Structure 1
Amino acid sequence: MRKLINVFFVAAGLVFTVNMASAQQKLGHINSEDVFANLPEAKTAQTTLENLGKTKQADIDAMIKEYQTKLAAAQAKEKTLSEANKDQVGKELQAAGQELQDLEKRITDARTKASQDIGTKQGELFQPIQTKVAAAISSVAKEKGLAYVFDIANGQGGNNLVFWDGGEDITASVKTKLGISATAAKPAAPKK
C-alpha cells in the first residue's frame, strides 16, 4: 500500500512538473504562404516551372494533333474500303493502326516524362529556397526565444493548428530576415 501511495505522489509530481514546464514554453506562428508569395526567388522559381510546364504541354499537344490527324486519315481510308481494294487498304489500315498505337504510347510516355521532369526541376529550384526560409524561421525563433513555431498557412496541407490565442506572429520578422517587405496582411484568426 505504501508503494502505491509513493507511486501516486511521484506520478502527480511528474504531471505537475510537466505542466509547469509547458507553461513556460513560448509559442509563435508563421504564415509560410505569405513568406513564399513575397520571396523573389520563389516567384522566379514558380515562373521557371510554369514555363517548363508550358513547353512540355506544347510538345504533348503537337503529338496529340499528329495523332488526331493520323486517326482522321485512317478513318477516311477505312471509308474507301471495298472488295476490290480490300487487301491493299486492309494492309494500310493495319499499318496506320500500329502507328497510332505507337504514337499513343509516345504521348503517354511524354506525359510521364514531363511530370517527372517538372517534379525534378521543382525539387532543384525550391529545395534551396525552403532551406533558406527554414534557416530564417529558426534564426528568428531563437532570437525571440520561441520553443515552437506553427505554420498557419492554409494551403500547406500540414496545418493542424485550428485555434490560437496569443503566441507571437513571426511572419514579418522572417520576411525582414529574408530581405522582403514585412508589410503583409495578417491572416484572420480562427473563430474561438
Structure 2
Amino acid sequence: MRKLINVLFVAAGLLITSTAANAQQKFGHLNSDEIYATMPEAKAAQTTLENLAKTKQGEIDKMITEYQAKYKAAIDKEKTLSEANKEAVGKELQAAQVELGDLQKRIEDARTKATTDVQAEQGKLYPPINQKLSTAMGVVAKEKGLAYVFDISASAGFNNLIYFDGGEDITAAVKTKLGISASAKPAATPIKKP
C-alpha cells in the first residue's frame, strides 16, 4: 500500500511538472507581409521582377502589333480579290495566312518563355531573402523565449492562426533584426512573396 501511495505521489508530481512546463510556453505572432513590404531586398527583387516582366511584355506587344498590321494588310488584300486577279491574290493570301500562323506561334512561345524567365528569376532572387527572414524570425523567437510563432499575414491565408488573445507581435522586432526601421511603412504596391 505504501508503494502505491509513493507511485501516486510521483505520478502526480510528474503531472504537475508537465502542466507547469506547458503553461510556460509562450506564443508570438508576426505579419510576414508587412516585413516583406519593408525589406529593401524584397523591394529590389520585386522591382527587378517587374522590370523583367515589362521588358518581356514590351517584346510581346511589338509582335502583337506586327501581327495586327499583317492581319489588316491581309484583310485589305482580300478586299481586292476579283476574278481577274484571283490566282495571284489567292497565293498572296495563303502566304499571309502561313505567316500569320507562324507569328501567332512565336507570340505564344514568347509568352511561355516570358513566364518561365520571370519564374526562374523569382526562384533565384527570393530564396536568399526567405532565408534571411527565416533566420531573423528564429533569432527573435529564441531571444523572446517563444515556443511558437504564427504568421498572421494575408498571403499565408489567415490559416496559420485561427484565434489569438494577446500574444506577442514580434513583427517590429524582426524588422529591427533585419535592420529595417520598426516604423517603416510598407510599399504602396504590395510585394508578392513567392
TM-score norm. by structure 1 comes to 0.83
Distance in 1 of aligned mates of 2:156 and 2:117 = 22
Aligned to 2:37: 37
Residue 137 of structure 1: how far off its partner (Å) = 0.2
Give SS of 1:149's match. strand
**Counterpart of 2:175 in structure 1: which amino acid?**
K
User: 2:125 maps to which residue?
Assistant: 125
Q: In the alignment, is residue 25 of structure 1 matched against residue 25 of structure 2?
A: yes
- 1:153 aligns to what? 153
Contact kept in structure 2, 1:153 and 1:159, CA below 8 Å = no
Q: What are the equivalent positions in structure 2 for 1:59-70 lying under 5 Å apart?
A: 59-70=59-70
Give 2:179's aligned amino acid: G
Q: What RMSD, in angstroms, separates the aligned Cα atoms of the two structures?
A: 2.1
Is 1:115 the equivalent of 2:133? Answer: no
| 2:26 partner letter | K
1:172, 1:184 within 8 Å by CA — same for their partners in 2?
A: no
2:173 match: 173
Q: Report the CA distance shift for 1:18/1:100 in structure 2 as closer, same or farther (over 3 A).
A: farther
Q: What residue in structure 1 maps to residue 192 of structure 2?
A: none
For 2:123, the aligned partner's letter is G
> 1:85 maps to what in 2?
85
**Gap regions ≥5 residues in structure 1:** 1-14, 186-192
Shift in alpha-carbon separation, 1:184–1:163, aligned structure 2, 3 A: farther
1:12 aligned residue: none
Query: After the TM superposition, which of the residue ranges 69-78 and 83-92 deviates more from structure 2?
Result: 83-92
Q: CA deviation at 1:24?
A: 3.2
Aligned partner letter, 1:136: A
Q: How many residues align?
A: 172
Name the CA distance, whole Å, in 1 between partners of 2:125 and 2:147.
30
Q: For 1:111-157, what per-residue CA distance to the aligned partner results, in whole angstroms no more than 9, with x for missing partners?
A: 11101111111111111101100000011111111111111111333
**In structure 2, what is the equivalent of residue 9 of structure 1?**
none
- Distance in 2 of aligned mates of 1:116 and 1:157: 26
Cα separation, 2, equivalents of 1:69 and 1:29? 56
Are the structure 2 counterparts of residues 25 and 184 from structure 1 closer, same or farther at C-alpha, using a change threshold of 3 Å? farther
CA distance, structure 2, for counterparts of residue 22 and residue 103 of structure 1: 66
Identity rate, percent: 65
Task: Supply the AA of the counterpart residue of 1:103.
Answer: L
Query: Partners in 2 of 1:124 and 1:157 — Cα distance?
Result: 24
Q: Is the 8 A contact 1:34 1:184 kept in 2?
A: no
Task: Note the residue ranges of structure 2 that are not aligned, 5 or more in a row.
Answer: 1-14, 186-194
Matched residue of 2:146: which SS?
coil
Mapped partners of 1:40, 1:184: distance in 2: 11
Which is bigger in relative contact order (C-alpha 8 A, separation at least 6)?
A: 2
After TM superposition, give the deviation of residue 163 of structure 1 in Å.
2.1
User: 1 CA distance for matches of 2:159 and 2:18?
Assistant: 25
Distance in 1 between residues matched to 2:52 and 2:41, nearest whole Å:
16
CA 1:43–1:86 in structure 2 vs 1: closer, same or farther (change >3 Å)? same
